[in-house]
Amino acid sequence: DTEVTQTPKHLVMGMTNKKSLKCEQHMGHRAMYWYKQKAKKPPELMFVYSYEKLSINESVPSRFSPECPNSSLLNLHLHALQPEDSALYLCASSTRTENTEAFFGQGTRLTVV
């Protein structure tokens, strides 16, 4: 099973709302990632978790707050977003952080109004 599951698939939120994106994998992977993808562009790395610890934050604004409750789950908490934050948010996982296959979820299409 090489599946990464993301919920919800679509999300519309106002600029004053608080919402969370969820990601789950049961492949025993110890590295998990959040990416942001704008239309017609490759994914951009936001955060990397390794063994449930945040190891990389690619200078992401604090209105995005990641959380890794356990080795299978990854959340992205959203607060006070801007319309330009509208994008496809992708979760991925891999066995480790270096030079190995990363498997992506289907993404959450986020629209900020």
Binding residues for other proteins (CB under 8 A)? 4, 6, 31, 40-43, 45, 48, 50, 55-56, 88, 90, 97-107, 109
The smaller minimum CB distance to other proteins, of residues 68 and 90, is found at 90
Phi/psi for 38 (5° steps) reads -90, 160
CB of 109 to other proteins, least distance (A): 8
Q: Output the 3-class SS for 38-75.
A: CCCCCCEEEEEEECCEEEEECCCCCCEEEEEEECCEEE
Residue 16 Cβ vs other proteins, minimum distance, rounded to whole Å: 28
> Please, which residue, 20 or 106, has the CB nearer to other proteins?
106
User: Which residue type does 111 have?
Assistant: T
Pairing label, strands 108-112, 64-70: unpaired
Q: How far is it, in rounded angstroms, from Cα 91 to Cα 27?
A: 14
With respect to other proteins, which residue has the nearer C-beta, 50 or 72?
A: 50
CB of 9 to other proteins, least distance (A): 9
